[in-house]
Structure 1
């Protein structure tokens, strides 16, 4: 903790000097503007009875995470822009995680590597057409379908992709083809997962203050030569959000169909949340929500009914401790948040988790089955989690964050293995300019 305080003090002083500029360096170069920037993040975590690999470790652990991102951007007014970003991710102190335990992907460690390199032209020659091509993150809506996954030290989703767009008035069509990057902690990130992704994502604003997005995503692997089953997953659905006076809402629904080897796919996800902000200077907001990701009630009937999460994020949706991925999951949620002063926000979030289907598994943050009872006799109660998160945006260059959470296991965890309460605490500092 002394080291963390020293880091914060050092960065605060550095940022105070740099407050005059929004980036590290910016200059006019030829017909456009060139910009250099850096984002440095440190996060210390204390984990008790769980880690990023599993729940029920039987001991505690701590880890200091460091992520450095450097970028170069060149933008021509009313023309294309070019973006190049490198990232270095490292960790220290952990007794549970060793990068050598991972053949390729270590969630905490990746030597300096290319993160993004793309060209983008939002309005080609001032027309309604646009494109973005190259290595990039993809995020839409609330991040439950496409998300960059920036909470993780290395990242969750990164793409070599081409996005063509067509925007007219209140509607924007996004046509996407991409291959997802397979991170390699020891070599250049040049490999991809063995499937292609095609998508149409339509963004609309039907009336002021409201958003409605429609999407179709195809994940396809028709090459069984590598020993894996052929996979074709179609996902269709919508995302909506809006605000009316003090009330706000957001909702996402997705249905999946297709084939996974010999099995037919029939899965779904639904999320709905309603919030109310009181007319007070602290802006207290109360909200309640419900999420369900379908599970498989019979793994031997030729139908696969477990929702696969598409390419969404998890860190801020299914509890901050990242014990769940959204597959075969029901989540009842309630939250209260306040903004006591400028740049400061505090939130208290409660989750009650249960299995959607008793005979399906508890799917961990890596979307792999961690525990399962084929008989269904262990029940469906996974447990309850309480998250307290505090953020302080000191200025445009410096953000501080801290939190504490604990998880109380339910009957399913008690009947299938270790079931001690789990705890998590963290402090984080991010500097960017």
Structure 2
């Protein structure tokens, strides 16, 4: 019943989007408001229906579904020597299609609050090249987005409060430095109720980073270091992580009839508590590597075949005071491991996973891909954390399962209306089966209206 309600609601809202576009006579919000040249305002609203058939998470069973709406409104005022930027974000579930058994949290629901509010000052007047400094609350995308990203798939978005300096010098080398405190997303009571509670800055958490990407005609590369230092406060228990992550990425861009590649690796060290509720301090030493090689065919549909492999370390011994468990910080994972949201069985922790991806463009305004990956535990003594499955004594086999995922995107009305359809099937391996979990099937369909 809830599945049919979700499809019906999505169809109804999709029809509303189409009607809105028609009556707007192709005029965006700026034009409707007749905004002056120094001021701009834009918005975007995405509705997505998700359905998960069978659960991979420990302790849960049956199906799950949800209808989620994410709407943001961005305003910018540009003056001669600075700019003011503000953005509101509203993320909620609709029509109670999700239920009390749904894995809802502030990763899914975050009713109306301030996502960004900052002043940006250009540095061109006192530094060669081109750059700027942001001060206030803002979102960030850095490098490959595996460690710091403005979330695309998830229904809520990470933001930070502090200072962010970006600079491209006279040789076109890119530099970046930031020092921030993450913003804690909050809801009042049960996320199902969509009751707002003001987000707050995590003053006891410091997140900083340095980034450099040299301008080279032969090799694309980037290098970075991130630091995270957190302590508990009255409103937010933490694992007291003090982590340092250093890494880099090199890559060659795709081109017709040519091979391309990408390699990214990072090492992480520091200390943290075993969990948010534990006082046991562990020494961290962990690492991550992503490799891929692809070939692009010279064809109007731009087909590309990519072979991928990711290795992310896991804890080798749950009974010692050391951990090799990797922390992906504030990164995104959809582009590596397939759909997240209600699904998302894989995070960058304790994985060994080869895969193959095929991408193509069915038409000028559509994109599609197919992804096939096998998943194993990197450490038999650790578990699958996203599923809440422990394997502390290595009692189970380390084969998690095989996942097939497909995605199709259609830019129906350029810069105005987009559709996104995706599906994934997880064939449960020994680890999941021994934990009493089954094969899982996930589908979603989304419509995004830009105004």
Which residue in 1 is equivalent to 2:395?
377
C-alpha distance 109-414 of structure 1, shift in aligned 2 (>3 A) = same
Matched, 1:235 2:245: yes
Which residue in 1 is equivalent to 2:191?
none
C-alpha distance 195-345 of structure 1, shift in aligned 2 (>3 A) = same
Which residue in 2 is equivalent to 1:403?
422
1:372-412 CA distance string (max 9 Å, x none):
12220201101111111000012111111111111111101
C-alpha distance 193-270 of structure 1, shift in aligned 2 (>3 A) = farther
Picking from 297, 317, 328, the partner of 2:336 is 317
Picking from 259, 262, 279, the partner of 1:250 is 262
Picking from 356, 371, 382, the partner of 1:334 is 356
Q: What's the Cα RMSD here?
A: 2.5
Matches within 5 A, 1:35-114: 35-50=40-55, 54=57, 57-76=60-79, 79-92=81-94, 93-97=96-100, 105-114=105-114
- Per mean C-alpha deviation after superposition, the further-off stretch among 42-51 and 63-72 is 42-51
- C-alpha distance in 2 between matches for 1:145 and 1:179: 15
- C-alpha distance in 2 between matches for 1:49 and 1:117: 41
**Residue 61 of structure 1 contacts residue 94 of structure 1 at CA under 8 Å; is this kept in 2?**
no
| Displacement of 1:111 | 1.8
**Residue 19 of structure 1 contacts residue 397 of structure 1 at CA under 8 Å; is this kept in 2?**
no
Which residue in 2 is equivalent to 1:190?
200
- C-alpha distance in 1 between matches for 2:251 and 2:369: 20
Matched, 1:424 2:442: yes
- C-alpha distance in 2 between matches for 1:12 and 1:346: 23
Matches within 5 A, 1:200-349: 200-207=210-217, 210-221=219-230, 230-243=240-253, 245=255, 246-260=258-272, 262-320=281-339, 321-349=343-371
- Per mean C-alpha deviation after superposition, the further-off stretch among 281-290 and 316-325 is 316-325
- C-alpha distance in 1 between matches for 2:151 and 2:97: 22
| Displacement of 1:82 | 1.6
* Count of aligned pairs: 418
- C-alpha distance in 1 between matches for 2:426 and 2:447: 25
| Displacement of 1:126 | 6.6
Which residue in 2 is equivalent to 1:127?
127
SS of the equivalent of 2:347 reads coil
| Displacement of 1:248 | 2.3
**Residue 254 of structure 2 contacts residue 295 of structure 2 at CA under 8 Å; is this kept in 1?**
no
SS of the equivalent of 2:46 reads strand
Q: TM-score, normalization: structure 2?
A: 0.86
Which residue in 2 is equivalent to 1:175?
177
Matched, 1:4 2:23: no
- C-alpha distance in 2 between matches for 1:140 and 1:40: 24
**Residue 223 of structure 1 contacts residue 230 of structure 1 at CA under 8 Å; is this kept in 2?**
yes
- C-alpha distance in 2 between matches for 1:316 and 1:304: 27
Q: Which runs of 5+ in 2 are unaligned?
A: 1-6, 189-196, 274-280
- C-alpha distance in 2 between matches for 1:387 and 1:45: 14
**Residue 286 of structure 1 contacts residue 335 of structure 1 at CA under 8 Å; is this kept in 2?**
yes
Q: Which runs of 5+ in 1 are unaligned?
A: none
**Residue 144 of structure 1 contacts residue 312 of structure 1 at CA under 8 Å; is this kept in 2?**
yes
**Residue 311 of structure 2 contacts residue 378 of structure 2 at CA under 8 Å; is this kept in 1?**
yes
| Displacement of 1:230 | 4.8
C-alpha distance 278-39 of structure 1, shift in aligned 2 (>3 A) = same
**Residue 82 of structure 2 contacts residue 119 of structure 2 at CA under 8 Å; is this kept in 1?**
yes
1:348-375 CA distance string (max 9 Å, x none):
11111111001112121xxxx7111222
C-alpha distance 290-24 of structure 1, shift in aligned 2 (>3 A) = same
Q: TM-score, normalization: structure 1?
A: 0.89
- Per mean C-alpha deviation after superposition, the further-off stretch among 219-228 and 376-385 is 219-228
Which residue in 2 is equivalent to 1:392?
410
| Displacement of 1:263 | 2.6
SS of the equivalent of 1:58 reads coil
- Per mean C-alpha deviation after superposition, the further-off stretch among 38-47 and 369-378 is 369-378
C-alpha distance 229-74 of structure 1, shift in aligned 2 (>3 A) = closer
C-alpha distance 55-153 of structure 1, shift in aligned 2 (>3 A) = farther
- Per mean C-alpha deviation after superposition, the further-off stretch among 224-233 and 173-182 is 224-233
| Displacement of 1:20 | 4.3
